[in-house]
Amino acid sequence: MVAMANTPWATTGVIVYGIDPEREKSVTEIWKKLVPGAGEYPDISRPGEVLISDKCAEILKLKHYIITEDVIDQLRGEKVPENILLRLPDLKETRFRSPKDFRDILKMRFTRRELDRYGNLIAAAALDYRIRNRVLLTLSDGTGTPVQGAFRVCGIYKTTNTGFDQAAIFVNARELAQLCGKDEIMTHEIAILLNDIKEAGNVKDKLEGISSGNSVRTWRELAPDAALMNDYMIMYYFMFIGIIMLALAFGIINTMLMAILERTRELGMLMAIGMNRKRIFSMIMLETIFLTLTGAVTGMIAGWAIVEVLGKTGIHFSGWGEGFEAMGFAARVYPVVTPDFFIFTTLLVVVTAIISSLWPARKALKLNPVEALRTE
Amino acid sequence: MKVLELKDVHKTYNSSEVKVHAVNGVTLDFDEAEFAAIVGPSGSGKTTLLNLIGGLDMPTSGEITIDGTDLSRLKSSQLIDFRMRNIGFVFQSYNLIPVLSAKENVEFIMLLQKWSKEEREKRTFELLKAVGLSDRVNSRPSKMSGGQQQRVAVARALASRPKFVLADEPTANLDSKSAANLLEIMEKLNHEEKVTFIFSTHDARVVKMAHRVITLEDGKVVSDEVRE
Ligand SMILES: Nc1ncnc2c1ncn2[C@@H]1O[C@H](COP(=O)(O)OP(=O)(O)O)[C@@H](O)[C@H]1O
Ligand SMILES: [Mg+2]
């Protein structure tokens, strides 16, 4: 439901989702996106809790930076040099309500290089949320009468979708119903998480038969821009893969033709003493495949390691961060590679290797042993 | 029975404007366990003749019969197999497989012929001993002298107990001492294994060691003498 959220310092429009905290876990991953050390997930046993995002906390001025003795200790633990730490204590106990203010203060105290190295660490350590702070929600009860309820922030979440984060806040569905003067929970939305994304269309068709006038939407219809982006990504992926495979094919053909050229005499000798065509052919093919597999395995280990590291640290698109965030994507992207992607790519590489080894192998077959032996 | 018979064999190259009669009507036959040299000036057709005998090249006309089998009647796949079983080759530039050891080079054909491991080992060590390389069994060709490499090549040629061994100028890249040593080993194996050796050369000292000398000129046999 659309609502107005108030804190003593700020006001913003939000969409309140009444959820069943436990059952919500099975369809969305909000519960996995909690900011560590900043509160917890709502619990039915504790009344009046609201879960808001990092972005929302910032707007509502529930997010601040504060240097405490603990923060300094923590930074020391992370191996920030003493000469940096020494310049922090006089900031102690001052609250900075926006990242910008905090940055500006730091900028005055530290050189650019120091900031580049330690700025993020200091900001992360000093970041604090006003957990348990009251948020006043004002909304219409459905008949047009405004109602108001006070909630306490129980936790902070942060997803990669800033557009979503800015608006979405979560409260217990039963409390939201009570606030609107209803005994029953009003269900506006039933989320269904499918095991296979490709089934979405089929399931929609089936549900529409029994939905008695309620609308059934697939994720594509709900988030057409995300769907479009997703389609583009897949298209780009195939284009890149296509280009890479083409380069791979040329690489293999080139390498193997060179190998055959260099070993013309050896091949001629092998043919003379009794290697038949089938054996020559399979020898070249096997050689190509081994060569490719060696490269592929090395590449995959390297690729996996890089993704593993970047998956932890994230890739920050600092230059385009704003554009990304405006589109609802996070500026910091955490790459993940699924096993089937790996398998698919491996198969593609092997198939490319086999296809591109055909030509060199045929070339080797066409060698005439007499001519091949004569070459110097 | 004759191991090898050539009847009026011709090989003509048409590649340029002029026709080259590289082999021009050669009729020859070889018995079991012969030790024959083919001599003649450069361009006289020695290599071409050996390629024809070895089934690497097809004559323009004439007939080549090995152990009763007319080579021209074999399909190309049969010919390869026939070659593997009946003919050993020694090349001027050794042509060993560089990534394999001496032992593995000798074993190679036996592997292609699917010999058992014991048979292979036995034959390989027997041959490497015969060519005096018992101590170089595991050496790569690049770690051996030219003479040693050519001795491995001779061992390889004999591996599958062929009817005869063809060697095109086997000593051309060797110094005279290694050449004499190689010839002695070939002669010994010729005697012990009862296998015919046919080698081309234009080295007078090598010619001296042959039991039969066939002289070619312009693709024709001009003399064929047997001596003891
Ligand atoms: N592939 C070929 N194409 C055209 N002419 C060739 C070819 N091979 C050999 N010849 C010619 O055949 C003749 C005999 O050559 P070759 O058998 O190599 O002689 P040798 O080994 O006694 O030096 C030479 O005149 C050579 O130029
Ligand atoms: Mg020659």
* DSSP secondary structure code for residue A184 in this structure: S
pLDDT given for residue B48 in this prediction = 95
Q: What is the pLDDT of residue A320?
A: 59
Interchain pair B51, A370: CB under 8 A: yes
Residue nearest ligand 1's atom 17 by CA: B45
Per-residue pLDDT, B158: 94
Burial of B223 (0-12, 13-18, 19+ CB in 10 A): exposed
pLDDT at B138: 95
CA of B66 to the centre of ligand 2 (A): 22
What DSSP designation does A43 have?
-
Distance CA(A42)–CA(A49), nearest Å, equals 6
CB-nearest to B95 from A269, A274, A277 is A269
Contact across the interface for B109 and A273, Cβ inside 8 Å:
yes
For the stretch B168-220, pLDDT in tens is 999 999 999 999 999 999 999 999 999 999 999 988 888 999 999 999 999 99
Q: Does B98 touch chain A (CB under 8 A)?
A: yes
Please indicate whether, in this complex, the C-beta atoms of B112 and A266 are within 8 angstroms of each other: no
Among B13, B26, B60, name the best residue to mutate to test ligand 1's pocket (greatest count of ligand atoms within 8 A of Cβ): B13
Residue of A276, A279, A369 lying closest to B56 (CB–CB): A369
B77 contacts A275? CB cut-off 8 A? no
Instruction: Give A373's contacts in chain B (Cβ within 8 Å).
Output: 56, 91, 95
Interface probe, candidates B49, B76, B80, chain A, greatest A C-beta count within 10 A: B80
* Subunit contact B95:A373, Cβ cutoff 8 A: yes
**Residue B85 CB: number of other CB atoms within 10 A?**
14
Contacts of B11 in chain A (CB under 8 A): none
Residues from chain A that touch B15, judged by Cβ atoms under 8 A, are none
Ligand nearest to the CA of B24: 1
| pLDDT given at position A317 | 65
pLDDT given at position A324: 59
Q: How confident is the model at residue B56 (pLDDT cuts 50, 70, 90)?
A: very high
Q: Does A106 touch chain B (CB under 8 A)?
A: no
Ligand 1 atom closest to residue B41's alpha carbon, by position in its atom list: 22
Report the pLDDT value the prediction gives residue A291, as an integer from 0 to 100: 86
How far B213 CA sits from the closest chain A CA (Å)? 25
Find the residues whose C-beta lies inside 6 A of ligand 1.
B 13, 15, 20, 22, 40, 42-48
Give the closest residue to A159 by CA, choosing from A321, A352, A28, A30.
A30
A356 with A249: CB under 8 angstroms?
A: yes
Asked if A276 and B97 come within 8 Å (Cβ–Cβ), the reply is no
Which residue in chain A has the smallest CA separation from B113? A274
pLDDT at A350: 85
DSSP state at residue B137: T
Q: Where are the domains of chain A?
A: 2-61+130-179, 63-129, 225-373
Could you read off the pLDDT of B109-160 as tens digits, one per residue?
A: 999 999 999 999 999 999 999 999 999 999 999 999 999 999 999 999 999 8
Q: Which residues pair with B89 in a beta bridge?
A: B166
What pLDDT is attached to residue B28? 95
The segments of chain A whose pLDDT lies below 50 read none
Alpha carbon of A369 to ligand 1 centroid (Å): 15
The pLDDT, as a whole number, for residue A323 is: 60
Using the mean position of ligand 2's atoms as its centre, give its distance from the Cα of residue B77 in Å.
Answer: 26
- Which protein residue has the closest C-alpha to ligand 1 atom 6? B13
Helix ranges, A38-184 (H): 54-59, 69-77, 82-85, 99-109, 112-126, 162-167, 173-179
CA of residue B196 to ligand 2 center, whole Å = 20
Residue A221's pLDDT is 77
**B109 vs A contacts (CB less than 8 Å):** 273-274
- How many interchain CB pairs under 8 A, A with B? 44
> Does pTM top 0.80 for this prediction?
no
In contact, B149 and B70? CB cutoff 8 Å? no
CB-count exposure of residue A45 (10 Å: 0-12, 13-18, 19+):
exposed
Pairing type for strands B20-30 and B35-39 reads: unpaired
Find residues 42-71 of chain B whose CB sits inside 8 Å of chain A. Answer: 51, 54, 56-57
Chain B touched by A282 (CB under 8 Å)? no
> Which residues, in sequence order, are CB contacts of A329 under 8 Å at separation 6+?
A160, A161, A162, A229
A182-241 confidence digits (pLDDT tens): 777 777 777 777 777 777 778 887 787 777 777 888 877 777 777 788 888 888 888 998
Bridge partner list, B7: B63
Calculate the alpha carbon distances from B20 to A41, B54, B60 in Å: 94, 20, 12
Q: Do B95 and A266 touch (CB under 8 A)?
A: yes
